[in-house]
Every structure is written in C-alpha cells, then in structure tokens.
Homo-oligomer: A and B are copies of this chain.
Amino acid sequence: MGFLKKLNSKYLKLKLKHSPQQNLFYGFLTYIVVGFILLSLPIFQKTSAPFLDHLFTATSAVSTTGLVTISIFDSYNFGGQFIIMLLFQLGGIGYLTFTTFMLLSTTKRITRWHKAILNSEFTLPISIKIKDFLKSVVIFTTIMEVIGAILFFIAFKMDGMDNYPAIWNAIFHSVSAFCTAGFSLFNSGFIDYLDNGFINFIISFLAIGGSLGFIVVTDFVLWFKNKTHKLSFTTKIILIGLSILLSIAFLFFYFYEPSITNLDGSTRTYAAFFQAMSAMTTVGFNTLDFGSFTTPILIATVFLMYVGASPSGTAGGLKITTLTAVFSIIKSRLRGSQQITFFGRVIPLERLYIATSSFIFYTSLIFLGIFVLTFSEDFNLEKIIFEVASALGTVGISMGITGDLSAVGKITIILLMFIGRLGVLTFGLAIWSRSISESEHMVIEGDIAV
C-alpha cells in the first residue's frame, strides 16, 4: 500500500504539469496505444491484418464507437476479443472515473486535481457530490452489466446456442451494450435477432441505462434513498429531451422507412424502436441494414447521431443538454429577450457559452470530416455524411463503407472517433489551452451540464 501511494504521488506530480483536458487526452491516447500494440501481437489474432486496422479497432473500442474495418470475430481470438472488451469498458465508464475510483479506494480522498478532471469530463452540476457520483458509477455499471449478461445468456440459450459461446457472447455483448460500444461478435450485427423481442429489450435496456448518464442515475438513487432530494434540472431536461426525440424518431422509422413498413406487427415495432434507440443512445447496434434505408430516414438518423444522449453517460454526440441550451438561445433571441431561459429558468451565461462553442465546433468538425472524405473516398455523399456523423458521435452504425475506406479515410475516422469520445471542447482545450490556471476556470456553477 505504501508503494502504491508513492507511485500515485509520483504519477500525480507528473500529471499536475498538464491541464485536466490534457490529462484526459493523454489518458485516452495511452489506452489506444496500449490496445493497438496488444491487438497487433499475433498471439491475439486469428488472421493477420494491416497495422492501421488494429489501430482502428483499438480507437473504435476505447472511444466506444463500434465501427470496424475488419471482422472482430474472424480477426481476433478469445484473448484479442477480451482485450477489445476491456478497452471499451475502460473507454465507456471513462478513463477518469476508473482511475479516480482506484485512487479513492487507496487514499480515501479525491484530490483537487482529480475533481477538476472529473468535472471537465462529466460536467457535473455542483449540487451532486463527486464521491456519491463515483460510487454510483461503479455500483450501477456492475449491476447493469451482470443483469445484462444473465439476460443475454438466457436469450442466447433459448436461441439454441451452446454453453460456452453463450457465456462469452452474453458477457461481451452486455458490456458492449451498456458502454454503448456497439461492438459485436456477430459479423452481421444483430440482424439475425430482428424479430427477437427479448434481445431487442435487453440491448435497449442496457443502452438506455448506460446512455442516460450517471448524473441521472445518481440523481435517481439519491431521490430513491431520500424522497426530499429533488431531481436536478439537468435530469429533467435529459429525460424529457430523450423521450421526445426518441418518440419522434420512432414514428419516423415506423411510418416512413419502407424496409420497416414492410415488416409484420411486432417486428415492425421492434425494428423502428431499435434503430432509433441505437442512433440516439449511440450504442450503434443494428437489426437492419442502414445501407438500404431511404434518404430522409438516413438524414433523420444523422440528426439523432448528431444530438446523442445525455452528458456524463456513455453516449457520444453533441448531447441533449447542449441542444437544449442552443435551442433556448434561439428562442430567447427571437423573442427579443435579453435573458436566456428554459422552462422558466435562467441559464447561466457561461453554460450558454460552452454550449454554443460545442455546437459550432462540433458542426465544423462534421463538415470538415465530410470534406476530407469526399476528397479521399469514392463513395456517394450520403454514405460519407453517415460515416462521419457516426464516428464523431461515437455511434458506430455504417452504410457499409468502413472496411473499404482508404488509408486517409481510416485515419480521418480514427481522429473523429477519438475527438468524439474526448468531447470536442475537451479535445480543443487539450490541444490549444494556454495554461492550467486559466482553463480551470472553465468549470462553473450552473443549471445544465453541457
């Protein structure tokens, strides 16, 4: 223990030189590099593949995106698959949640530095205590993934799978769904389970749980323990926003997508809900081929991927809260009022500032990604837009071009997934921020986490 403490303090001193954003940046980068090196070792492979593809897999896993250039099942053996699962587990619950928790369990306190990082990664409203938050993360993740694995095991057994594959598939897909990683050991994703209501339910349950975000969960747990605890404004906005967007998306898929309207009764309902849920929670599993969808539905899907779910969850995207802040600005601006309000609450200026910066930066990056891919690739624009939105939103659905991307295309997607997982502002701050003291000011009190 004394040794661990010493190591920790050395580690801390090294890290204090950097801003919290830079630490997150280097942290994720380290995971990716380690993952890349491990996956490049032949002992974890079934068949060999170019290095760039292993880098792609590692980045996709750490960023919990789920886009793949090579088949996970055909390319990596059990060891390799296990490493991939570890990578998205780590990426999913977050570099910092993990390391801070490790630190917590040895030193019994959270340093000011770790608090700053946690705040910048999860943009917590101040009213929730860091310690409660971390506890909830670990407990919640464990409970959900165990439940998920058990349910998956039952479902796979019911579907006639053998014991060992059923166990491994259950664990792998449970973690993958909860971390909204979208990695699958099935080469065609969950297309074979299109009409399997049970599996549709398990994935939706895990992905929504994971993507709702730990803020919402902690908030709920506190409320459950103590009924005088009021749900935070952020939690309310996330729940309302998610419900509205998911309902609208469901109706669009249900009524307008020919490959869904062609389906029968409950299968049609499953299919519409699953695809909408998949884009929105950014889990990125699919039970239908997005490559065959019509243009308006693809545009709607791009929008869902663009928005994503809640901050501090496992999901990517711009986040519902950012969209809400941005929406409030437009509304208040158009009404000619000077204060920005939402549901009658004044949103602090600094939050709006962060939200608009995110919106602008995120939108510019999507545009830039599309521009680069139109140069480097020969696919039609639809597929390129879809791929870029999927990568930056860390969603992982594709119209089927990932494996055929050029080297420039793969590198671009790798960068987008990495930036998408870090968050566009965190990424920008890590690269360009002037000093620690200045950038620490960025986390401020406020109503909505963005």
Cα distance A425–B336 when bound, in Å?
Answer: 10
Instruction: Decide if A433 is an interface residue (CB 8 Å cutoff).
Output: yes
Contact with B along A376-418 (1 / 0, CB 8 A): 0000111001000000000000000000000000000000000
Q: Is B360 in contact with A326, judged by CB distance below 8 angstroms?
A: yes
For A359, list chain B residues within 8 Å (CB): 360
Q: Is A299 in contact with B441, judged by CB distance below 8 angstroms?
A: no
Nearest residue (CB) in B for A385 is B381
Number of interface residues of A (CB under 8 A): 46
List A residues 417-436 near B (Cβ within 8 Å): 425, 428-429, 431-435
Q: Is B338 in contact with A441, judged by CB distance below 8 angstroms?
A: yes
Instruction: Decide if A335 is an interface residue (CB 8 Å cutoff).
Output: yes
Instruction: Decide if A198 is an interface residue (CB 8 Å cutoff).
Output: no
Tell whether A381 pairs with B295 under 8 Å between CB atoms, given A330-B360, A357-B329, A434-B336. Answer: yes
List A residues 429-449 near B (Cβ within 8 Å): 429, 431-435, 438-439, 441-442
Instruction: Decide if A367 is an interface residue (CB 8 Å cutoff).
Output: yes
Instruction: Decide if A78 is an interface residue (CB 8 Å cutoff).
Output: no
Among the listed B334, B381, B434, which residue makes an inter-chain contact with A429, where contact means beta carbons less than 8 Å apart? B334
The smallest beta-carbon distance between A442 and chain B, in angstroms, is 6
Cα distance A182–B364 when bound, in Å?
Answer: 29
For A385, list chain B residues within 8 Å (CB): 381
The smallest beta-carbon distance between A307 and chain B, in angstroms, is 11
For A5, list chain B residues within 8 Å (CB): none
Instruction: Decide if A370 is an interface residue (CB 8 Å cutoff).
Output: yes
Cα distance A393–B431 when bound, in Å?
Answer: 34
Q: Is B371 in contact with A336, judged by CB distance below 8 angstroms?
A: no
Among the listed B337, B361, B375, B438, which residue makes an inter-chain contact with A330, where contact means beta carbons less than 8 Å apart? B361
Cα distance A303–B367 when bound, in Å?
Answer: 9
Instruction: Decide if A341 is an interface residue (CB 8 Å cutoff).
Output: no
Instruction: Decide if A261 is an interface residue (CB 8 Å cutoff).
Output: no
Tell whether A333 pairs with B428 under 8 Å between CB atoms, given A381-B295, A382-B381, A385-B381. Answer: yes
Instruction: Decide if A23 is an interface residue (CB 8 Å cutoff).
Output: no
**Residues in A lying within 8 Å of B, measured CB to CB:** 19, 256, 295-296, 299-300, 303, 326, 329-330, 333-338, 353-354, 356-357, 359-361, 363-364, 367, 370-371, 374-375, 380-382, 385, 425, 428-429, 431-435, 438-439, 441-442
Enumerate 25 A-B pairs (CB-CB under 8 Å) in ascending A order.
A19-B336, A256-B375, A295-B374, A295-B381, A296-B371, A296-B374, A296-B375, A299-B371, A299-B381, A303-B371, A329-B360, A330-B360, A333-B353, A333-B425, A333-B428, A334-B425, A334-B433, A335-B434, A335-B438, A336-B429, A336-B433, A336-B442, A359-B360, A380-B380, A380-B381
